[in-house]
């Protein structure tokens, strides 16, 4: 392909595309999953805000359930899990759907076009949400039929900052590693990229580009990660 300017915006496949021009990027992909389900008992008020429980949790499995977890190789779910289970009403006010998430799984994995979502995820999230909203106990006992699990990959650097701007390969720029905040950051990231390409980078934007890895004074690097507070 002949061009003066190529921008790699391949999301989870950012590193794969960069490898085609010989660049190794310090990024990993982590599958992020969400649950949407009906709330026929109305345990989450329609006016409830997006609510997050930051405390880690030890789920109260029964002995029988612990045995099943062992059988299925899921013992780690019986150990303390990190915080950040979250829920909110979903859809319009007259809908009875809710949306829940819990990023207790944070291991990186290679991105796939069609990721697999583990079958136990919705059950585990509902159990975690029960601490936040005790009425959810009704769904631990009997999960609604129409539960849907979906999601995608967070592509992220170790310090959870994006990569926006030029690289050592002339004409090859990046806009990616936008982790779990890419929708919020999209306009600023694009404005920053356009300024780099136009030859007049926005002051400070080097800290959000590959340039930070050559700058001993960069405020956040893999060795000095910022507090991510990631959901
Ligand atoms: C479940 C979930 C919930 C999220 N919620 C939020 C939220 O509430 N707020 C928020 O700010 N962010 C959220 N995010 C993060 C946000 O979605 C991402 O940060 C953002 O989408 C990243 O944008 P991107 O353009 O880098 O990648 P993407 O949006 O993934 O776009 C990459 C595009 O490149 C295409 N592509 C890939 N490889 C190739 C190739 N070889 N050739 C051509 N095209 C290719 C893909 O098909 C895709 O269209 C969420 C992410 C997930 C997974």
- Tell me the per-residue pLDDT of 70-83, one tens digit each, with 9 for 90 and over: 999 999 999 999 99
Q: According to the model, what pLDDT value does residue 173 have?
A: 98
**Which of the 8 DSSP states describes residue 202?**
P
**182: CA distance to ligand 1 center in Å?**
7
Separation of alpha carbons 161 and 42, rounded Å: 38
Separation of alpha carbons 204 and 44, rounded Å: 42
State the closest ligand 1 atom to the C-alpha of 176, by its place in the atom list counted from 1. 26
Ranges of residues in the chain whose predicted pLDDT is under 50: none
**11: CA distance to ligand 1 center in Å?**
5
Separation of alpha carbons 82 and 104, rounded Å: 6
Q: According to the model, what pLDDT value does residue 221 have?
A: 77
Query: Among 160, 164, 175, which Cα is nearest to 230's?
Result: 160
Q: Please check whether residue 214 is in contact with residue 204, taking contact to mean a CB–CB distance below 8 angstroms.
A: no
Distance of CA 220 to the CA centre of its chain: 20
Q: According to the model, what pLDDT value does residue 65 have?
A: 95
State the closest ligand 1 atom to the C-alpha of 182, by its place in the atom list counted from 1. 19
Those residues whose C-beta lies under 8 Å from the C-beta of residue 194, and which sit 6 or more positions away, are: none
Distance of CA 170 to the CA centre of its chain: 31
The pocket around ligand 1, CB under 6 angstroms, is made up of: 9-13, 17, 32, 34, 151-152, 176, 178-184
Q: According to the model, what pLDDT value does residue 225 have?
A: 75
**12: CA distance to ligand 1 center in Å?**
7
CA distances 112 to 82, 91, 153, 174, Å, are 25, 29, 9, 20
Pocket test for ligand 1, best of 182, 185, 190, 229 (most atoms within 8 A of CB): 182
pTM: predicted TM-score of the whole model, two decimal places: 0.91
Ligand 1, atom 43, residue with closest C-alpha: 10
State the closest ligand 1 atom to the C-alpha of 153, by its place in the atom list counted from 1. 53
Q: According to the model, what pLDDT value does residue 188 have?
A: 97
Instruction: Locate 160 and state its tokens.
Output: 């959870």
**21: CA distance to ligand 1 center in Å?**
22
Q: According to the model, what pLDDT value does residue 104 have?
A: 92
Q: According to the model, what pLDDT value does residue 223 have?
A: 77
């Amino acid at each position: 392909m002949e061009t003066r300017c190529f921008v790699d915006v391949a999301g989870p496949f950012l590193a794969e595309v960069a490898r085609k021009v010989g660049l190794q990027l310090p990024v990993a992909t982590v599958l992020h999953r969400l649950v949407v389900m009906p709330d026929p008992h109305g345990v989450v008020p329609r006016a409830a805000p997006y609510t997050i429980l930051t405390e880690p949790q030890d789920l109260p499995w029964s002995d029988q359930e612990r045995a099943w977890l062992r059988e299925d190789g899921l013992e780690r779910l019986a150990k303390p899990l990190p915080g950040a289970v979250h829920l909110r009403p979903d859809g319009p006010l007259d809908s009875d759907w809710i949306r829940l998430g819990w990023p207790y799984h944070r291991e990186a994995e290679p991105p796939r076009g069609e990721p697999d979502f583990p079958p136990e995820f919705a059950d585990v999230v509902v159990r975690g949400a029960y601490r936040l909203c005790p009425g959810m106990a009704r769904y631990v006992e009997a999960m609604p039929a129409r539960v849907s699990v979906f999601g995608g990959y967070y592509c992220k650097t170790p310090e959870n900052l994006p990569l926006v701007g030029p690289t050592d390969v002339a004409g090859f720029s990046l806009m990616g590693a936008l982790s779990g905040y890419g929708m919020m950051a999209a306009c600023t990231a694009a404005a920053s990229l356009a300024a780099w390409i136009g030859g007049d980078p926005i002051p400070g934007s080097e800290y959000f580009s590959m340039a930070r890895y050559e700058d001993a004074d960069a405020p956040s690097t893999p060795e000095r990660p910022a507090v991510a507070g990631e959901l």
